[in-house]
Structure 1
Amino acid sequence: MPADSTNGTRPIDRNGTIAQARALQAQGRLDEAAQAWRALRDANPGFAEARIHLSTNAFDQGDRDACLSELREVTRLLPDDPRAWSTLAARLRHFGLTDEALSACDAAIACDPKSVKLRAEKAHLQQSLGEFDAAERALIKLLRRSPADTDLYRMLMTAHRVTRNDPVLRQMLALWKDKRLNDTGRMNLGFALATAMEQLDEPRRVFAYLDAANAAQARLAPDDSEARAQQAAATLAAQEGADLTPRGPRMQPRPVFIVGMPRSGTTLVERIIARHSGATAGGEMGHALRRARLRFGPPEAMTPLADIPDDALVDWAADWARLATRDTGAASGVVTDKAMMTEQILGLIRRGMPGARIIVVHRDPRDIALSIYRNQFRLGQHRYANALTDIADAIKAFRAAIAHWRARMPEALHEIRYEDLVADPEAQTRALVAAAGLEWEDACLDPAAGSGSVRTLSVAQVRQPIHAGRRQAWRKYESEMQPFIDAWGDQPWD
């Protein structure tokens, strides 16, 4: 059996220790897992696998310095391995270290110049930074080499503007007719073609491609609406009857939760707040809900909030703070978190995170539904998004959760409508900044000037000035939207 030793100490059973460390990591026993991985690394400093796992362990524990240190050492040990550089690039991007991430992408490409995947990863990063022209040039070159790669069309249409004689459009239309196209290809290409048809102002063709793309995605990642509703109801029920008075010390960094449905304007709200010198954008971090699940149990067995000791709440809040600092580098000031489904635990946040602010973003449900249906999310992320009737149910559930918390703790919520924000930016922006607990700064009126990467589907829109041009976009597709309108029933639209 393979063994390692160092400085005359007792040899280490490499395979046995690897198995033990992986098991400990899977069980969430991170300190013990780290100890096992360190033993392997110290016994053989050239064992890159141990360093990769130590990096993952450090990431999970919120230690960005240790995470990056181990990955950088991996690239020193394996300088010609593109996977080592690609992994480092992904972590650097996650931490917002975009210049270094671009350099790591270049190093990966240098190891494997013919790799389409590595060049596409760099183009994706460039898009997130607003470098759309450079990304487009790279993607079009890649399509010349790989004209059947539907993922490249998906990426390109994030910002590309087609014309009727566009060779890219011709390629997509020809590929769409290929009967060998699988569900993944049909999904990627369908969303890309729908975007193209929207640009060419052909609304009926938009929905023909959207229906096909969403059907393919639904086959790849089926929705379980009953389970989703049960989990949400159980999470709300676990917080029922609890005293929601904040407990514990005021947090640093201080969270501002931006709560809304996908495509409701949460990214714009976050960009506005993040323009403040005392605020940092965290994006869709989701640490509050994930750590609540780990510490207090899954929805069907969640410890009632009334029974959770104050010190456990303090530990949960500390989890969020540590991971938010890992992701953003901000140890103080405001950090925004616009993760989906946060509306399910607003009572827990109110009680367990003193000083946290909650901003709720509303938008016309018809515009939300259209935008959800015509955008391609990460596979499995929003499974309800593939059917207009299911989207109606999801928006109703969100509104019901907000109504629940509005009745329980109205003073804790600042609610804003997207339509009001784009119609009267200054007044609404001033109210947003105050709701975040910040003093006014003029920079907040210019969210498009913000730097840094954008990791959501709003990557192109948020780099434009605030305008009302996307209000009531659903009217162009009113007949196609009828299944949603019927499912909505007689509930009010505002």
Structure 2
Amino acid sequence: MAIPPPPRRPQGGTLTARYQAALSALNSGRIDAARTAFTALAKERPNQPEIEFQLSRVAHLSGDFAARAAHLERALAAKPDEPALLDAATAAFAAAGNPDAALAAYDRTIAAAPSKIKPRADKALYLQQIGRFDAAEAIFRDLLRRHPREGSLYRMFFAAQKISADDPLLPELRKTLKSPKTPDEARSQGYFALAKALFDQGAGAKAFEALHKGNRLQRKMAPYDDAARRSEQLSIRAAQEGADLAPVGDAVEPYPVFVTGMPRSGTTLAEQIIAAHSRGTAGGELAHALKLVWDGFVKNGQMAPLRKIPDAQIAELARAYRARARRDTGAQAGVFTDKSIQNHLIYGFLARALPGAKFIVIHRDPRDIALSIYRNHFATGTHRYGNDLADIASAIKDFRASVKYWKGRLGEQLVEFRYEDLVRSPEPEARRMIAAAGLDWEEGCLNFHESTAAVKTLSIAQVRQPIHAGRAAAWTKFEAELAPFIEAWGDTPWD
């Protein structure tokens, strides 16, 4: 999360100067110096909320989730209604695996702004993420009773809840969709919500009618150029052509495991299997690697050739990536997963910068991927190809071409899996996956669904269930509706 601005700092002569010097050290990335300085200040001025807040930032950047939460708890004890502290504490308690403390912080935020929708919706989403669906439902229904024209609330609630045909929310949703006062964004999200409800009721044809409307609205708000996307991806690949991919430096734990696939291909399932290992940590979509490469090596729209980048700059890329990953995952040893979808574009940079990195690719029947992408709402402006079935076919083909290219470059360092094999033969495939992550097998890796940890994914309900094969071949029920995708796919093999 973004670090909120610090609350008011301590006042008074030398103490203020020392606080400022410590803050300067922290903001310039000198973590050890900042820790030493703020710790000394905390001994002289115990339980000062401003100092505790800054120590929480130090702990956050160090990946120490427990210390981060403890510092914020002390800060809140002194300033229980400080908005910046509440926001930071909510995220810290959730990351530290303390849902009761996180929910209490949500409640205090809600109490401070009882008329605002967002704090209540955020709490409901968190309840979904930790598997407390009944409590989330109660909040969403109350919110929708008060705000029946908020299309996003329907979409968030319906995503993790089966909606029956006689649910009283459906007439209100249809009123929202018909109202000329409903903005395009709310209307688009409302159509995705309606489609989800209709799928729940077995009304697939009507669900697709709603999906077409929702996707058209998103495409209107976020236009898409398929040729431009392909050209950019090919230029990124070309910048890595001919480069030596031998890693720079020594392998350092924790090692990254890049779990890559198209959206809705099964990457979350793979991540949960690895994270269920005693030496595994789920990182989710960290979204750091491509940004660091882009910020560091792209100038005037052109990416510097990897073969010409000095080892010192590659080492800095590794340092920056590991620092962000440590901050966001808390992993200190073993492995952590990063399932950022665009990582496959820069496998060359990642292999060179991160000794010990593993690359796992998840494939799935393209028809199931297309169905799931088209029927799920992604934040407007992301995955723009997902609003058109023919464009989805093009994106999947390009992803496959990218994986084929990198398999030729990385060899055994890149291990491919099929989602269908994983759900039909869970144990042997999970064993192979754990080995690909560089770990020894543990029986608990198949019991990920028993975890109470928060999971941020569109598959929010599915990750609370054991692996089962019923999730495969869903496309067969909607072959007619998927005709534009199937036609665009052409004669390319499905597997």
Pick the TM interval, shorter chain. 0.7 to 0.9
How many Å separate the matches in 1 of 2:263 and 2:153? Answer: 24
CA contact (8 A) 2:63 2:330 kept: no
Name the counterpart of 1:120: 121
Cα shift readout 1:243-298 (whole Å, capped 9, x = no counterpart): 11223111211111101011000000010111111111111112222222222236
What is the CA-CA distance between 1:314 and the residue it aligns to? 2.3
Name the counterpart of 1:188: 189
Name the counterpart of 1:448: 449
Which secondary structure state, in structure 2, belongs to the residue aligned with residue 469 of structure 1?
helix
Unmatched tracts of structure 1, length 5 or more: none
Q: Which amino acid aligns with 2:391?
A: D
CA pair 486-48 structure 1, distance change in 2 beyond 3 A: farther
How many Å separate the matches in 1 of 2:273 and 2:60? Answer: 28
How many Å separate the matches in 2 of 1:89 and 1:372? Answer: 31
Cα shift readout 1:32-89 (whole Å, capped 9, x = no counterpart): 9x99xx9xxx9xx9x9999999988996897878977886687567643556523542
CA pair 321-96 structure 1, distance change in 2 beyond 3 A: farther
CA pair 408-212 structure 1, distance change in 2 beyond 3 A: same
How many Å separate the matches in 2 of 1:287 and 1:125? Answer: 23
CA contact (8 A) 2:368 2:473 kept: yes
Identity %: 45
CA contact (8 A) 2:239 2:305 kept: yes
Name the counterpart of 2:5: none
How many Å separate the matches in 1 of 2:166 and 2:236? Answer: 52
Which secondary structure state, in structure 1, belongs to the residue aligned with residue 469 of structure 2?
coil
CA pair 216-281 structure 1, distance change in 2 beyond 3 A: same
What TM-score comes out, normalization by structure 2 length? Answer: 0.86
CA contact (8 A) 2:61 2:326 kept: no
Name the counterpart of 1:460: 461
Which secondary structure state, in structure 2, belongs to the residue aligned with residue 360 of structure 1?
strand
Name the counterpart of 1:227: 228
How many Å separate the matches in 2 of 1:224 and 1:91? Answer: 39
How many Å separate the matches in 1 of 2:348 and 2:252? Answer: 16
- Spell out structure 1 runs of 4+ moving beyond 4 A: 4-9, 28-32, 47-78, 81-84, 94-97
CA pair 457-202 structure 1, distance change in 2 beyond 3 A: same
Name the counterpart of 1:434: 435
Which secondary structure state, in structure 2, belongs to the residue aligned with residue 359 of structure 1?
strand
What is the CA-CA distance between 1:94 and the residue it aligns to? 5.4
Question: Which stretch of structure 1 is more off in the superposition, 80-89 or 441-450?
Answer: 80-89
1:56-455 equivalent positions in 2, closer than 5 A: 79-82=80-83, 84-90=85-91, 92-93=93-94, 98-297=99-298, 300-455=301-456
Cα shift readout 1:416-450 (whole Å, capped 9, x = no counterpart): 00011111111111111111111111111222122
Q: Which amino acid aligns with 2:152?
A: D
How many Å separate the matches in 1 of 2:494 and 2:288? Answer: 31
What TM-score comes out, normalization by structure 1 length? Answer: 0.86
Q: Which amino acid aligns with 1:189?
A: G
CA contact (8 A) 1:132 1:159 kept: yes
Name the counterpart of 2:488: 487
How many Å separate the matches in 2 of 1:113 and 1:417? Answer: 47
How many Å separate the matches in 2 of 1:194 and 1:389? Answer: 20
CA contact (8 A) 2:275 2:282 kept: yes
How many Å separate the matches in 2 of 1:254 and 1:191? Answer: 38
Name the counterpart of 2:6: none
What is the CA-CA distance between 1:30 and the residue it aligns to? 6.3
Give the aligned length.
475
CA contact (8 A) 2:385 2:392 kept: yes
How many Å separate the matches in 1 of 2:468 and 2:446? Answer: 12
Question: Which stretch of structure 1 is more off in the superposition, 193-202 or 348-357?
Answer: 348-357
How many Å separate the matches in 2 of 1:60 and 1:297? Answer: 26
Q: Which amino acid aligns with 1:373?
A: Y
Which secondary structure state, in structure 2, belongs to the residue aligned with residue 80 of structure 1?
coil
Cα shift readout 1:130-173 (whole Å, capped 9, x = no counterpart): 11111011111222222222221111102222222111223222
What is the CA-CA distance between 1:472 and the residue it aligns to? 1.5
Which secondary structure state, in structure 1, belongs to the residue aligned with residue 159 of structure 2?
coil
Which secondary structure state, in structure 1, belongs to the residue aligned with residue 484 of structure 2?
helix
CA contact (8 A) 1:81 1:111 kept: no
CA pair 83-171 structure 1, distance change in 2 beyond 3 A: farther
CA contact (8 A) 1:271 1:450 kept: no
Name the counterpart of 1:473: 474
Unmatched tracts of structure 2, length 5 or more: 1-8
CA contact (8 A) 2:191 2:210 kept: yes
Q: Which amino acid aligns with 1:306?
A: R
How many Å separate the matches in 2 of 1:416 and 1:406? Answer: 13
How many Å separate the matches in 2 of 1:212 and 1:324? Answer: 38
How many Å separate the matches in 2 of 1:5 and 1:431? Answer: 55
Which secondary structure state, in structure 2, belongs to the residue aligned with residue 376 of structure 1?
coil
